[in-house]
Chains A and B, each alone.
Chain A
Amino acid sequence: MKRVIVACGSGVATSQTVASKVKRILQEKKISAEVEAVDIKSLDRHVKNCDVYIAITKPKTDYGVPTLNGIAFLTGMGMDKEVEKLVEALK
Chain B
Amino acid sequence: MNNGNSVPQFFVEEIHHNFAEMFQEAFIVLDADYKTQAEFFCASSAILKQREYVKPSFCKAVMEREALYPTGLANEYIQFAIPHTDAFHVEKPFVFVTRLKNNIPFMHMGTTDIPVQAKVIFMLGIKNPEKQVGLLSDIMKCFNDGDFVRTILSIQDTHAMADYLKKQFGG
A→B interface (CB under 8 Å): 8-14, 16-17, 20-21, 23-24, 26-28, 30, 32, 40, 55-58, 69-71, 74-77
Contact = CB atoms under 8 A, between A and B. Distances in A.
Nearest first, the 7 closest Cβ-Cβ pairs linking A and B are A9-B69, A17-B136, A12-B126, A27-B11, A16-B133, A12-B129, A71-B110
Contact of A76 (B69, B130, B140): B140
A28 B87 CA distance: 31
A9 B129 contact: no
14 contacts: A10-B65, A10-B69, A11-B129, A16-B130, A17-B133, A17-B137, A17-B140, A21-B137, A23-B11, A26-B11, A40-B69, A71-B109, A74-B140, A76-B144
Interface in B54-76: 65, 68-69, 71, 73, 75
Interface of B: 1-2, 6-8, 11-13, 15, 65, 68-69, 71, 73, 75, 82, 84-87, 109-112, 124, 126, 129-130, 132-137, 140, 144
A23 B2 CA distance: 13
Contacts of B133: 16-17, 20
A10 B84 contact: yes
Interface centre among B6, B109, B111, B134 (most CB of A within 10 A): B109
B1 A12 contact: no
Contacts of B13: 20, 23
